[in-house]
Structure 1
Amino acid sequence: MPLLAIPFPMIDPVLIEFGPLAIRWYALAYIAGILLAWRYMVVTVRNTNLWSKTAHPTGTDIDDFVMWATLGIVLGGRLGYVLFYNLPYYLANPTEILAVWQGGMAFHGGLLGMIVVLFIYSRARGLSGWTMFDLAAIAAPIGLFFGRIANFINSELWGRVTDVPWAVVFPNGGPEPRHPSQLYEAALEGALLFLVLRLLSHRFKLLQKPGVLAGSFAIGYGLARTFVEFYRVPDAHIGYLSGFFTMGMLLSLPMVLIGIVIVVWALKRNTENKEAK
């Protein structure tokens, strides 16, 4: 092992095991992320200083949305992985699609799942869809942070070989030291993006301009994920596309463009609405 490499902290992916029942860190990360995001959204909608006269959901609306959000994240994340990352395998082994305990979730699929349930729930409750998107956007980095920490514990989605002092030798990544790209993503997609959106929502009170925070999240995540893809090893069965791009890049770069369009449109729309009053 190179002198500067950090040994991987041997944390068992299974926290507690009772016979055939196993509680995994990965599952706890999803649970913690969803619960903390839910509480953050509830506290936010109850903070009257952030809203002025802007219509917004109640704490009860957010409480009722939790189950919808969970289904959107889990089902979307799984189907996204199947469609974007390993479709030939699952076409040949369709019964494996439901085997989520074997791993295989995709953020972009979870995002699409959330968009679908947000749209349906907002229409059913008569709520502003863009405001619901904004609330989900400012809370999403919480789940992303815990999810990436769980990826690190599981020794999966590790980075490319490197000689940086903080390189880690992963137990299933060969003897070479690698970038701990999961921790890069936890820091950028999770902690940093949360702080940026917190500043926009609480300091600049952009919840009063529906759509701006949703677009800002898309820009921030797209940039962070694309940056980390330069240090992360792509899925072995996909590799590099066109000799350079990864699937993560191709799915994230459009988010930046879409996010910019949404922010510009939302700012213009809210300005026009204000002038019309």
Structure 2
Amino acid sequence: MNLLVGALNPIALQLGPLEIHWYGVIIATAVVLAVALALQEAKRRRVSEDDILNLILWALPFSLIGARLYYVIFEWPYYQANPGEIIKIWHGGIAIYGGLIAASIVFIIYCRNHALSAWLILDIAAPTVMLAQAIGRWGNFMNQEAYGGVTSLHFLQQLHLPNWLIQQMLIDGSYRQPTFLYESVWNLIGFAILMSIRHRTGWFKQGEILLSYIMWYAFGRFFVEGMRTDSLYLGPLRVSQIVSIVLLIGAIAVWIWRRRQKQVPDYLAGNLTQRY
């Protein structure tokens, strides 16, 4: 099989000194699509479009800060010696779990201050976040990052991947496991499942779509993380695997606990305050 030569250019457009990277283009596309889908669902659930847009405007910067802070904390020896690098996110180093935690905190605070159900809002957001994650991983692909251990050309060809993708996995002279792809496909499947069943009558109480997302993502991320070569560590343990286990067990426990609470409304009931 003849393969393309050389990695793909991570720069989408260059205007003088200004460089627009594919990573940014892909992330921006993922966010716009996620917001559009969330707005459609919010209308069905009697949630104001203004509330969704305000939430996004607040959550985006804080999620970026959270993603960076999470990474810096677990790489503190390096950043302690190089404090000037802390703000240079263009040099790499953000963690999705940190971003998700920060965004969730923003959502909860906003909802409490605006008489909204945080469970409902997070339910609306969860499938679209999963889609954004699936798309966003292709930004890692363009940057040749978030890859796994050394593998063979034959193995990648057996996955029936296109030549341009296989060639992009040739990093530092060796072919690598496309762990970005594994996580992207896993998230895309989860998105498709949640979107296809979330409107089934009687299937979900408020909060359970969010919990389903957490369980699905944490389960898949645990195994994908075990294959990656750029993990953050806490002693001998991979941080993301620890977080995945905690989130998976926690989500199952919360699901069981909330199912025992008779006053929990159905997801399809939507915004019971009807402040729309």
Match of 2:230 among 229, 234, 256: 234
1:152 maps onto 2:149 in alignment: no
Deviation at 1:240, TM superposition (A): 9.1
CA distance in 1, matches of 2:180, 2:26: 14
Alpha-carbon distance in 1 for matches of 2:76, 2:203: 39
- Say which SS state the counterpart of residue 214 (structure 1) adopts: helix
Contact 1:206 1:213 in 2 (8 A): no
With over 3 angstroms needed to count, the CA separation of the structure-2 counterparts of 1:246 and 1:273, relative to structure 1, is closer
CA distance in 2 between counterparts of 1:255 and 1:9 reads 39
Q: Aligned with 2:255: secondary structure?
A: helix
Give CA-to-partner distance per residue, 1:6-26, whole Å, 9 cap, x none.
667732111011122111111
Task: Tell me what 1:136 maps to.
Answer: 125
Cα offset, 1:169, TM superposition = 5.3
Task: Report the residue type matching 1:180 in the other structure.
Answer: P
Residue 249 (str. 1) matches residue 241 (str. 2) = yes
Equivalent residue number for residue 269 of structure 2: none
Alignment match, 1:104:
93
Q: Secondary structure at the match of 2:171?
A: coil
Contact kept in structure 2, 1:218 and 1:259, CA below 8 Å: yes
Distance 1:140 1:206, change over 3 A: farther
Contact 2:169–2:175 (Cα < 8 Å) also in 1 = no
How far the C-alpha of 1:95 sits from its partner, in A, is 2.1
C-alpha change, 1:106 and 1:273, in structure 2 (3 Å) is closer
Amino acid at match of 2:241: M
Partner amino acid, structure 2, of 1:79: L
Structure 1 residue 174 displacement after superposition: 2.6
Q: Which residue of 1 aligns with 2:218?
A: 222
SS in 1 for 2:20: strand
| Contact 1:211 1:262 survives alignment (8 Å) | no
Quote the RMSD (CA, aligned, Å).
Answer: 2.5
Match of 2:66 among 47, 64, 76: 76
Question: Using the alignment, how far apart are the partners of 2:258 and 2:170 within structure 1?
Answer: 46
- Who is 1:173 aligned against? 171
1:193 aligns with 2:182: no
Mapped to 2, the partners of 1:206 and 1:19 lie a distance apart of 54
**8 Å contact kept, 1:81–1:106:** yes
Who is 2:163 aligned against? Answer: none
Shift of residue 218 of structure 1? 1.0
Q: How far is 1:229 from its partner?
A: 2.2
TM-score normalised by length of structure 1: 0.83
- Residue identity matched to 1:134: D
Listed one character per residue, the Cα deviations across residues 177-228 of structure 1 (whole Å, up to 9, x for unaligned) are: 2211111111112x11211221332235656x21111111111110111121
CA–CA distance in structure 2, aligned partners of residues 24 and 205 of structure 1:
45
Distance between the aligned counterparts of 1:7 and 1:250, measured in 2? 38
Q: TM-score, normalised by structure 2?
A: 0.83
Structure 2 vs 1, CA of residues 145 and 9 (structure 1 numbering), >3 Å: closer, same or farther?
farther
Q: Tell whether the 8 Å contact from 1:134 to 1:210 is kept in structure 2 after alignment.
A: yes
Q: How far does the alpha carbon of each residue in 1:39-97 deviate from its partner, in whole angstroms, 9 at most, with x for none?
A: 111100222xxx5xxxx52222112222112112211111111113x111112222211
Separation in 1, partners of 2:90, 2:183: 22
Matched residue count: 256
Partners of 1:120 and 1:9 lie apart in 2 by 47
Instruction: Flag structure 1 segments of 5+ consecutive residues without an equivalent.
Output: none
Amino acid at match of 1:231: M
Letter in 2 for 1:147: G
Structure 1 equivalent of residue 162 of structure 2: none
Change in 2 beyond 3 A, CA 1:171/1:211: closer
Matched, 1:15 2:12: yes
Report % sequence identity.
29
Query: 1:25 corresponds to which letter in structure 2?
Result: W
Matched-pair contact (CA < 8 Å) for 1:30–1:146? yes
1:267 corresponding residue in structure 2: 259
* Matches of 2:235 and 2:167, distance apart in 1: 26
Distance 1:100 1:187, change over 3 A: same
Q: Secondary structure at the match of 2:65?
A: helix
Q: Judging changes above 3 Å, is the alpha-carbon distance between structure 1 residues 186 and 272 closer, same or farther for their aligned structure 2 residues?
A: same
